[in-house]
Amino acid sequence: MTDKRFLVLLIAAAGDLLIPFFIAPFSEYDHLTTVMSALGNNGRPLSALYNCWLIIAGAGFAFSAVTLYKTYSAVSMPLAVWLSAIVAVYAVGGCILSGIFPVGETKELTTTAAKIHGIGSTVGFTALTFCPLFTALLSFREKKTAVGVVSLIFFAAAVAFFALFIMSDKEQFSGTIISYEGLWQRLSLLCMYAPLMIVSLEKLIRKSP
């Protein structure tokens, strides 16, 4: 039978990747060089809409963390705990707190809100990097080799893009392709979300024998 609970996870992941493209035309925003959270800056048009979406997405990921645990606990309790914890940490740090405490005009963490946003997004984003790895391990446990291999590939790519994202704001890379932090952030998230989206689609279309 299909598991419609995974529709929440699919919508949260796909929406987080796509919604910035619908909001950006109303703001002076460069997808290549600017991080997504900049859309939530109070000085930008539709910032309230984007921050509201982050909170909604965070709630969706939090719900999905429970779904993932219930789905995979019978496959491997330790791996299920790790995967659900990763998604839960990202839900709170990378989405909910980022929506409640929008990014400031600059990257300087001069206010309490900016510090909460910075710490929350950093912890959440870092945790999510390992999501493809645990998705792969659980897929191998389920004898779904193809999904496991693809997830491992996405994990390697996520680590690489995340490293570029971290280096992007370094002065020595200014003016080079490495400075495209918006691009590396999106590619990182795409690789982190992709295994979850694949699993969600598989659960949604699966039929009982």
* pLDDT, greater one: 115 or 185: 185
Longest Cα–Cα distance of the chain, Å, equals: 58
The per-residue pLDDT for 61 is 97
Task: Give domain limits for the chain.
Answer: 6-205
Higher pLDDT residue, 43 or 138?
138
pLDDT surpassing 60 at residue 1:
no
Q: Write down the pTM of the prediction.
A: 0.92
Dump pLDDT digits (tens) for 51-61: 999 999 999 99
**What is the chain's mean pLDDT, rounded?**
91
Give the pLDDT score at 111: 76
pLDDT tens sequence across 118-152: 899 999 999 999 999 999 999 999 999 999 999 99
Give the number of C-alpha atoms closer than 13 A to the C-alpha of residue 95, restricted to the C-beta side.
26
SS3 letters for the chain? CCCCCHHHHHHHHHHHHHHHHHHHHHCCCCCCCCCHHHHHCCCCCCHHHHHHHHHHHHHHHHHHHHHHHHHHCCCCHHHHHHHHHHHHHHHHHHHHHHHHCCCCCCCCCCCHHHHHHHHHHHHHHHHHCCHHHHHHHHHHHCCCHHHHHHHHHHHHHHHHHHHHHHHCCCHHHCCCHHHCHHHHHHHHHHHHHHHHHHHHHHHHHCCCC
For the segment 168-174, the average pLDDT, to the nearest whole number, is 87
Q: How far apart are CA 85 and CA 79, in angstroms?
A: 10
pLDDT classification of 208: cutoffs 50, 70, 90: very low
Percentage of residues in the chain having pLDDT higher than 70 = 94
The Cα 6–Cα 117 span in angstroms is 28
pLDDT digits (tens, 9 = 90+) for 76-133: 999 999 999 999 999 999 999 999 998 765 566 667 877 888 899 999 999 999 999 9
